[in-house]
Amino acid sequence: MNRLGPFAIVVGILMIAGIGLATYRVTEYHVPLLPGAQQLLWQVEARIEFRANGGPAMARLNLPPEQDGFRIVGETSASAGYGYAIEALAEGRRARWSTRSATGNQTLFFKLDLAADETYEVEQVPPPLPQPPPLEEPYQTAVSQLISAAEPRSADGFTLAHELSSSLAAGDQNATLLLDQYSPSDVLVTALVQAGVPARTVQVLRLEDGRRRQSAVEQVQVWDDGWRLFDALSGPVNNVSNLFVLRSALPSLLEVEGGDNSRVNFSIVEETRSSLSLMENGGGEDFFLSLYDLPIAEQGMFKLIMLLPIGALVVVFMRLLVGLKTSGTFMPVLIALAFLQTELIPGLISFLVVVGVGLIIRGYLSALNLLLVARIAALIVVVIALISAFSVITYRMGLIGGLTITFFPMIILAWTIERMSIIWEEEGPKEVMLQGGGSLLVAVLAFLVMDLNIVRHLAFSFPELHLVVLGLILLLGRYTGYRISELTRFASFR
Amino acid sequence: MLEWISPRQLSGLGILGMNARNVSYIARYNERSQYPLVDNKLNTKLVAAEAQLNVPELLHVIHTQHEIGRAREVLTQHDEFVVKPAQGSGGKGILVIVGRDGDELIKSNGERITDTALSRYLSNVIAGLHSLGGRADVALVEQLVRVSDDFSDYSVEGVPDIRLIVFLGYPVMGMLRLATKASDGKANLHQGAVGVGIDIATGKALSAVQHNRVIDRHPDTGALLSEISIPNWRRLLEQAARCFEVTELGYLGTDMVIDRDRGPMLLELNARPGLAIQVANQCGLKPRLRHVEGLGNRFGRDRRGPDARVSYAMEHFGMSASSAQPSLFPPEINQLLNP
């Protein structure tokens, strides 16, 4: 152990530097050490149903605008057999589904992830005042009378709207006449616009956990240095924290061409998710060496890359301390990385299916007596064919999760199959189970560790902690004690 | 159920673990640059022959695919030979031909293969099928080793080989490996071959294991394993000890065989010899390794020649001598006691 001195110093420096830098980051920059406060996340799923006429069909759903209090953190669509695109128009964004021919009942899904965030504000510009044509008589007179009754009692657009909605709710002669013909919101908007106050009807969704098949409610937005929400009959809506405005400028929420009986309803699920909302919003610039400085796309990549050392540490631990056999030293880490994107169970199943079928086909390839390079190349083609087939079949069966199999590193899969098959031929199926099982076990363990919220957070927000990981790996590299597996291997000495 | 032994007991017995072997012995005493000498059997053979160690005669070397045709012509002159990949490990890819029957060749297990099958096999070897990492390889054709009569009761398939751990030139522990039906003719302990611990002092059997369990008799032939005594033991040890000068690898495994006619021969060398030899001997390696480390530093002060080292080893590492556990004292004190 003559070189232990300098070695211990190096490891010590690494550990101290890592922990020191992390401490500095916590105290000076207030980077949260833990994954952070729990944040409320609403998952709103729009379910669009219509009956297709047999020809080309197209459905357009207005996407909600950015609004105060909610950050849109995710938009996904699931619609087998439909082309899907997002149209960006001046008035707002629309999701568009299209297909060449569709018959019968059609169902399309659109899912929104909304992070509730009270500090989130969207800059709002005053809208141009629309010039609506006057209503038919006698309704125009009724509206004019409503306005002239309410106007003297109001100071601005907001109070005018308040007065108007009270008179609608009170149900005097003019109001009753108008409400017979028009919806309360339409009456309110018409009256406000004619009085020179920008207003519009909107669809509002009430966010409540576990609500299914909920429809949007029509309400009114009135401009008063920012849009204020009104219910046409009950007046201003004050608690907007769980109200989500679905559309504003575009004519209608859902448009369907080539079909009828269309409707859209919403399911809502509440979720608490931890996030680094604090950090993502403020203080990003004065960080030293922070991965948060990177563009979002690169951040996503680094979130995975920064987990690799953790996986490597797990492998080192399992091999040196426990003594598990794995096929290919760091193959388990790559598999674990794939699991991170596929989720554990679908990932395990698809991995086993591809490797299993691959082994069978490899058995045939070995009968062909190919040269090694050609055989591996052939296996790569086979693996890609298997993955495509697997994806198509699971997609047809409606299991979208099957698509994530493409996250598996294909060359690695091909090599795994080749190696397993050679082990099978030379050392028998028992050894295959031992090494394959060992690899999978290590991969699952690495996945479980890498999937921990706190590990993900620390690895990404505190890159310097990887110095500590490095120190640990170095320490394990000098471990000369027994492995746990050796305690059984040498049991005959007892 | 699984049986366990506590780490404290293991270390009390002086058992060398995998991590300790890698860090404290292989990494410290084996120079990386010397590995090609032992990882490639062709290199081993050439340097061993140069140092006048006894090795099976090299009949032919096939480097590239297009030399296979010519090789088949050369091989028609031989009725028995062994083909092996130069970079194969753990006995992978070794083909033993023991005779001819018309156009067909007879393998050691009695199977027959055709001439075309032989070409295909050679092509696979050269493509690297049996080699570490699938690298392109070279096929060696060697003279067949014939089993010595002393072992005829103990060999089912293949020639029994003797693994010695040679530490800094001292043969510290030895094991005879007997292929069994369970091991499919391979002398690989974890595949079910029998390992017989051999007394360094006498060349006689100490204890035997199969699948990590102590056994008395050969599982296939029923022969009593304790009666094994290896002929020409001292000569064999000397050959092994000289491998240290040849390879300059401090922690070395030598695989030897005893040919009926030509005596002990070096078959191959291993820079990362396994730990099963301790189980076969029912004895830990660590005390002996420490003992040798106490004799002199690295490649420095200990200037004994191979003969002297063998004498020293036979005297100190024998089980029959009372020095079964030679390091009751630290090596430095031992050195003072036995100058």
pLDDT tens track for A425-480? 777 788 888 888 888 999 999 999 998 888 888 888 888 899 999 999 999 988 88
Mutate to test the interface with A, among B9, B19, B22 (most CBs of A within 10 A): B19
pLDDT for the residue numbered B322: 40
For residue A318, give the DSSP letter.
Answer: I
Geometric angle at alpha carbon A262, from A260 and A267, rounded to 5°: 165
Tell me the chain B residues in contact with residue A319 when contact means C-beta distances shorter than 8 Å. Answer: none
A136-150, A191-205, B153-167: range with highest mean pLDDT: B153-167
Asked which of A51-60, B267-276, B324-333 is least confident by mean pLDDT, the reply is: B324-333
CB contact under 8 A, A491 and B278: no
Q: Residue type at A136?
A: E
Q: How far is CA B133 from the centre of its chain?
A: 22
Q: What is the mean pLDDT of residues B65-86?
A: 87
Query: What is the distance between the alpha carbons of residues A476 and A267, in angstroms, rounded to a whole number?
Result: 51
How confident is residue B288, by pLDDT bands cut at 50, 70 and 90?
Answer: very high
- Strands of B205-210's sheet in order across: B213-215, B205-210, B194-198, B170-178, B161-167, B251-259, B263-270
pLDDT for the residue numbered B324: 43
List the 295-314 stretch of B: residues with Cβ below 8 A of A: none
pLDDT for the residue numbered A490: 87
Closest of B308, B288, B256 to residue B151, by C-alpha: B256
Tell me the chain A residues in contact with residue B2 when contact means C-beta distances shorter than 8 Å. Answer: 488, 491
For residue A253, give the DSSP letter.
Answer: S
Domain boundaries, chain A: 41-117+254-274, 139-247, 296-486
pLDDT for the residue numbered B198: 93
Q: Residue type at A430?
A: K
What is residue A92's three-state secondary structure?
A: strand
Interface check B124 vs A, CB under 8 A:
yes
pLDDT for the residue numbered B300: 55
Kindly state the tokens that stand for B172. Answer: 């510290």
Phi, psi of A344 (to 5 degrees): -65, -55
Quickly count: other Cβ atoms within 10 Å of residue A182's Cβ. Answer: 16
CB contact under 8 A, B15 and A493: yes
Mutate to test the interface with A, among B18, B24, B188 (most CBs of A within 10 A): B18
How confident is residue A247, by pLDDT bands cut at 50, 70 and 90?
Answer: low
Q: How many CB pairs under 8 A join A and B?
A: 83
Q: Which domains does chain B have, with CATH numbers?
A: 7-38+149-337 (3.30.470.20), 57-143 (3.30.1490)
ipTM, two decimals, is 0.77
Q: Are A420 and A327 in contact (CB under 8 A)?
A: yes
Query: What is the distance between the alpha carbons of residues B18 and B22, in angstroms, rounded to a whole number?
Result: 6
Asked which of A294-298, A302-306, A312-316 is least confident by mean pLDDT, the reply is: A294-298
CB contact under 8 A, A492 and B209: yes
B128: left (phi over 0), alpha (psi -120 to 50) or beta: left
Instruction: Please return the burial class of B50, using the count of CB atoms within 10 Å of its CB with bins 0-12, 13-18 and 19+.
Output: exposed
CA-derived radius of gyration, chain A: 31
Query: What is the distance between the alpha carbons of residues B160 and B228, in angstroms, rounded to a whole number?
Result: 12
- Given a cut of 90, whether residue B212 has pLDDT beyond it is no
Asked which of A458-467, B222-231, B300-309 is least confident by mean pLDDT, the reply is: B300-309
Q: Are A92 and A156 in contact (CB under 8 A)?
A: no
- Given a cut of 50, whether residue A282 has pLDDT beyond it is no
pLDDT for the residue numbered A273: 55
Q: What is the mean pLDDT of residues A406-422?
A: 78
List the 66-105 stretch of A: residues with Cβ below 8 A of B: none
A234-238, A339-343, B192-196, B318-322: range with highest mean pLDDT: B192-196
How confident is residue B336, by pLDDT bands cut at 50, 70 and 90?
Answer: low
- Provide the shortest C-alpha distance from residue A433 to chain B (in Å): 15
Q: Are A160 and A197 in contact (CB under 8 A)?
A: yes
Report pLDDT digits (tens) over A360-371: 888 888 777 777
Cis omega (within 30 of 0) for bond into B306: no
Q: Are B25 and B253 in contact (CB under 8 A)?
A: no
DSSP string over A196-207: T--EEEEEEEE-
Question: Looking at per-residue confidence, does A227 or A290 come out higher?
Answer: A227
Q: Report the CATH fold assignment for A41-117+254-274.
A: Immunoglobulin-like (2.60.40)
Q: Are A441 and A433 in contact (CB under 8 A)?
A: no
- Given a cut of 60, whether residue B278 has pLDDT beyond it is yes
Helix (H) or strand (E) segment spanning residue A114: strand A103-116
Q: Are B246 and B239 in contact (CB under 8 A)?
A: no
- Given a cut of 50, whether residue A105 has pLDDT beyond it is yes
Quickly count: other Cβ atoms within 10 Å of residue A297's Cβ. Answer: 8
Q: What is the mean pLDDT of residues B264-275?
A: 90
Query: What is the distance between the alpha carbons of residues B338 and B82, in angstroms, rounded to a whole number?
Result: 46
Tell me the chain B residues in contact with residue A427 when contact means C-beta distances shorter than 8 Å. Answer: 191
Long-range residue pairs from A298-306, CB within 8 A, at least 24 positions apart, any chain: A302/A460, A303/A456, A303/A460, A304/A337, A304/A340, A306/A459, A306/A460, A306/A463, A306/A466
Instruction: Please return the burial class of B11, using the count of CB atoms within 10 Å of its CB with bins 0-12, 13-18 and 19+.
Output: middle
Query: What is the distance between the alpha carbons of residues A456 and A461, in angstroms, rounded to a whole number?
Result: 8
Closest of A439, A463, A47, A43 to residue A270, by C-alpha: A43
Phi, psi of A108 (to 5 degrees): -125, 150
Tell me the chain A residues in contact with residue B20 when contact means C-beta distances shorter than 8 Å. Answer: 480-482
Interface check A492 vs B, CB under 8 A:
yes
Q: Are B239 and B256 in contact (CB under 8 A)?
A: yes
Query: What is the distance between the alpha carbons of residues A80 and A102, in angstroms, rounded to a whole number?
Result: 11
Q: Are B60 and B71 in contact (CB under 8 A)?
A: yes
Q: Are B161 and B257 in contact (CB under 8 A)?
A: yes
Q: What is the mean pLDDT of residues A239-265?
A: 77
How confident is residue A145, by pLDDT bands cut at 50, 70 and 90?
Answer: confident
Question: Looking at per-residue confidence, does A316 or A186 come out higher?
Answer: A316
Tell me the chain B residues in contact with residue A3 when contact means C-beta distances shorter than 8 Å. Answer: none
Kindly state the tokens that stand for B162. Answer: 């003797």
Tell me the chain A residues in contact with residue B6 when contact means C-beta distances shorter than 8 Å. Answer: 487
Q: Which residues contact A321 (CB under 8 A, 6 or more apart)?
A: A476, A479, A483, A484
Question: Looking at per-residue confidence, does A262 or A232 come out higher?
Answer: A262
Q: Are B339 and B220 in contact (CB under 8 A)?
A: no
How confident is residue A92, by pLDDT bands cut at 50, 70 and 90?
Answer: confident
Q: Are A468 and A15 in contact (CB under 8 A)?
A: yes
pTM here is 0.65
Which of A478, A487, A492 shows the shortest C-beta gap to B212? A492
Q: What is the mean pLDDT of residues B122-141?
A: 81
Question: Looking at per-residue confidence, does A49 or A404 come out higher?
Answer: A49
Interface check A491 vs B, CB under 8 A:
yes
pLDDT for the residue numbered A5: 78
How confident is residue A62, by pLDDT bands cut at 50, 70 and 90?
Answer: confident
- Given a cut of 80, whether residue A10 has pLDDT beyond it is yes
Report pLDDT digits (tens) over B230-267: 988 999 999 999 999 999 899 999 999 998 888 899 98
For residue A136, give the DSSP letter.
Answer: P
Kindly state the tokens that stand for A412. Answer: 């690695």
CB contact under 8 A, B10 and A320: no
Strand partners, A218: A203
Tell me the chain B residues in contact with residue A368 when contact means C-beta distances shorter than 8 Å. Answer: none
3-state secondary structure chain B: CCCCCCHHHHHHHCCCCHHHHHHHHHHHHCCHHHHHHHHCHHHHHHHHHHCCCCCCCEEEEECCHHHHHHHHHHHCCCCCEEEEECCECCCCCCEEEEEEECCEEEECCCCEECHHHHHHHHHHHHHCCCEHHHCCCCEEEEECCCECHHHCCCCCCCCCEEEEEEECCEEEEEEEEECCCCCCCCCCHHHCCEEEEECCCCCEEEEEEECCEEECECCCCCCEHHHCECCCHHHHHHHHHHHHHHHCCCEEEEEEEEECCCEEEEEEEECCCCCHHHHHHCCCCHHHHHHHHHHCCCCCCCCCCHHHHHHHHHHHCCCCCCCCCHHHCCHHHHHHHCC
Query: What is the distance between the alpha carbons of residues B130 and B78, in angstroms, rounded to a whole number?
Result: 24
- Provide the shortest C-alpha distance from residue B63 to chain A (in Å): 15
- Provide the shortest C-alpha distance from residue B75 to chain A (in Å): 22
Interface check B6 vs A, CB under 8 A:
yes
How confident is residue A285, by pLDDT bands cut at 50, 70 and 90?
Answer: very low
Interface check B119 vs A, CB under 8 A:
no
For residue A322, give the DSSP letter.
Answer: I
